[in-house]
Amino acid sequence: MKNPFRSEQDAFRFVWLTIGYFALIVIGSVINVWVGVAVFVAETVAIGWWLFARNDAKEAPTRQTPAASPPDEHRILVVANETVGGAELLDLIRERAGAKTVRVLVVSPALNSPLKQWTSDEDAARSAAQSRLDGSVSGMRATGLHVEGEIGDGDPIQAIEDAMRTFRPDELIVSTHPPGRSHWLERGVVEKARERFDLPLTHVVVDLDADQH
Amino acid sequence: MSAIDAAHEHHGPPPIHYSSRVTPAVLGMFLFIASEIMLFGSFFTVYFFDRVVNHGVNGHWPPPGLHRPAFVAGINTLILVTSSFTMHWADTSIKKGNRAGLQAGLLLTWLLGLTFLLTQVIEYHRLGFNTSDTSFASTFFGLTGLHGAHVFVGLTILGIMTLRAFRGHFSPEHHHGVEIGGIYWHFVDVMWIVVYVTVYLL
């Protein structure tokens, strides 16, 4: 919902909307108490419906294409959280290493609860993401890959968008748990990323339990 | 140096990351509005509870012998709504670089706000009932007094804004102080419309 007091202009407009809202109720009440109640209910329902309809009619996000990477490099942006050290993901990245130098940026979103995100209480989430990233990036570097890592926004789509502004990837890899165990799959993160970003996207399912056995 | 190495060498709290999080200014305004809604909401809850219970007992609202000065309060409402106009004029003026408009707008807003508050104080003396007379009187003074306290705070903010405007502060590029003060003043106006309709008219 849009904040009606976001700016002085918006607040001034809200004054007039409030006057209009209550003026109709008062006019209805002068006619009859129950007419006033009916006007109140009708107006409130109409406003609620309008807010709901407006939220549904949000514009589709603009499709984004990053600037080209240097010609002698192939840049891969990997977005993963707990699955970043999975064998399937490492195999896929090695596959991509052809004649060009492969550079990998691993983004680990700082997953947080909505309440903590709202209140900016994200130190613990960032610290946990950093710990996962440290271990994973070290492991990937040990295989000879040129890997960098950074903590991203709690929203994986936003984390990709942020990373694209500085990294200029040639392709995108989203690594998730298997269906049924992945919150990202439940939220349609992969589909949203395909719609949003004009890049080849590979979805890698990493089964950490299977990897450990 | 890689990003991960850089992160390890960084001392102090982690760097601020704003991409999808609510910015502090917006969060502050949301929290402010939420706290105000709860504050006024508690007073309105008491008012409506009292009204439903006591209207059912004696069939009259307000209780017999107590008169709500709806006409004077209506004039006061017009004064406050007009002050929203002058506030908006002041904000629009500074955005266009019109310093005279900013100064006149703020001064007029302050004077109109002061008129509103003084009229309310005078009306309190002429009401003929006091806070301890009935539960209606308590809630009446509670609600209108709570709003009056907000007007007083608004007048203080407006006074500082006006002084700053006459001392050459604010510009088309830097007028955050006018913007925030204006938002508060419009909020006070909105709350008065709710109080006026609820307490004086309905």
Same domain, residue pair A205 and A100: yes
Same domain, residue pair A90 and A24: no
pLDDT of residue A50: 83
What DSSP assignment string belongs to chain A?
Answer: ---TTSSHHHHHHHHHHHHHHHHHHHHHHHH-HHHHHHHHHHHHHHHHHHHHHHHHTPPPPPPB-PPPPPTTEEEEEEE-STTTT-HHHHHHHHHH-SSSEEEEEEEEE----HHHHHTT--HHHHHHHHHHHHHHHHHHHHTT-EEEEEEE-SSHHHHHHHHHHHH--SEEEEEEPPTTT-HHHHTTHHHHHHHHB-S-EEEEE--HHHHH-
Q: Are residues A149 and B179, on separate chains, in Cβ contact within 8 Å?
A: no
Number of domains into which chain A is organized: 2
Q: Residue with structure tokens 């102080």?
A: B177
What CA–CA distances, in Å, run from B23 to A145, B20, B33? 37, 9, 16
Q: Which domain holds residue B130?
A: 9-201
R_g over Cα of chain A = 24
- The CATH number that applies at residue B47 is 1.20.120.80
Residue B117 CB neighbour total at 10 angstroms: 19
Same domain, residue pair A44 and A122: no
Report the pLDDT averaged over residues A57-68.
61
Report the pLDDT averaged over residues A53-75.
67
Which DSSP symbol is given to B131? T
* Residue with more model confidence, B11 or A106: A106
Report if residue A118 sits inside a domain: yes
Please report residues of A whose CB lies closer than 8 A to that of B14: 123, 126
Among candidates A15, A134, A154 on the partner chain, residue whose Cβ is nearest the Cβ of B189: A15
Q: Are residues A3 and B30, on separate chains, in Cβ contact within 8 Å?
A: yes
Same domain, residue pair A123 and A52: no
Residue B65 CB neighbour total at 10 angstroms: 10
R_g over Cα of chain B = 22
pTM > 0.90: yes or no? no
Q: Are residues B202 and A36, on separate chains, in Cβ contact within 8 Å?
A: yes
Same domain, residue pair A149 and A188: yes
Q: How far is it, in rounded angstroms, from Cα A48 to Cα B198? A: 21
Report if residue B112 sits inside a domain: yes
Same domain, residue pair A102 and A175: yes
Same domain, residue pair A106 and A145: yes
Same domain, residue pair A172 and A88: yes
**In this structure, are residues A17 and B84 in contact, taking their beta carbons and an 8 Å threshold?**
no
If pLDDT is split at 50, 70 and 90, which confidence band does A1 have?
low
Report if residue A46 sits inside a domain: yes
**In this structure, are residues A146 and A177 in contact, taking their beta carbons and an 8 Å threshold?**
no
Please report residues of A whose CB lies closer than 8 A to that of B19: 153, 158-159, 161-162
Report if residue A168 sits inside a domain: yes
Q: What is the mean pLDDT of chain A?
A: 82
- The CATH number that applies at residue A169 is 3.40.50.620
* Minimum distance, in Å, between the CA of residue A117 and any CA atom of chain B: 7
Could you give the ipTM of this predicted complex? 0.82
Which DSSP symbol is given to B199? I
Same domain, residue pair A134 and A179: yes
Please report residues of B whose CB lies closer than 8 A to that of A161: 19
**In this structure, are residues B178 and B51 in contact, taking their beta carbons and an 8 Å threshold?**
no
Q: How far is it, in rounded angstroms, from Cα B28 to Cα B23? A: 8
Same domain, residue pair A188 and A86: yes
Please, how many CA atoms are within 13 Å of residue A152, restricted to the half-sphere of its CB? 25
Rounded to an integer, what is the distance from CA B158 to the centroid of its chain?
12
Which DSSP symbol is given to B96? T
Using an 8 Å CB-CB cutoff, list residues of chain A that contact chain B: 3, 5-9, 11-12, 14-15, 18-19, 22, 25-26, 29, 36, 110, 117-120, 122-123, 126, 130, 133-134, 137, 148-151, 153-155, 158-159, 161-162
Report the pLDDT averaged over residues B65-76.
90
Report if residue A16 sits inside a domain: yes
Q: Are residues B193 and A134, on separate chains, in Cβ contact within 8 Å?
A: no
Report if residue B127 sits inside a domain: yes
Please report residues of A whose CB lies closer than 8 A to that of B188: none
Report if residue B2 sits inside a domain: no
Number of domains into which chain B is organized: 1
Same domain, residue pair A30 and A78: no
- Which residues make Cβ contacts (< 8 Å) with residue B164, sequence separation at least 6? B170, B177
> Residue B13: is its pLDDT beyond 60?
no
Report if residue A24 sits inside a domain: yes
Q: Which domain holds residue A146?
A: 73-212
Same domain, residue pair A29 and A96: no
Q: How far is it, in rounded angstroms, from Cα A107 to Cα A93? A: 15
> Residue A141: is its pLDDT beyond 50?
yes
pLDDT of residue B106: 97
Report the pLDDT averaged over residues B153-172.
94
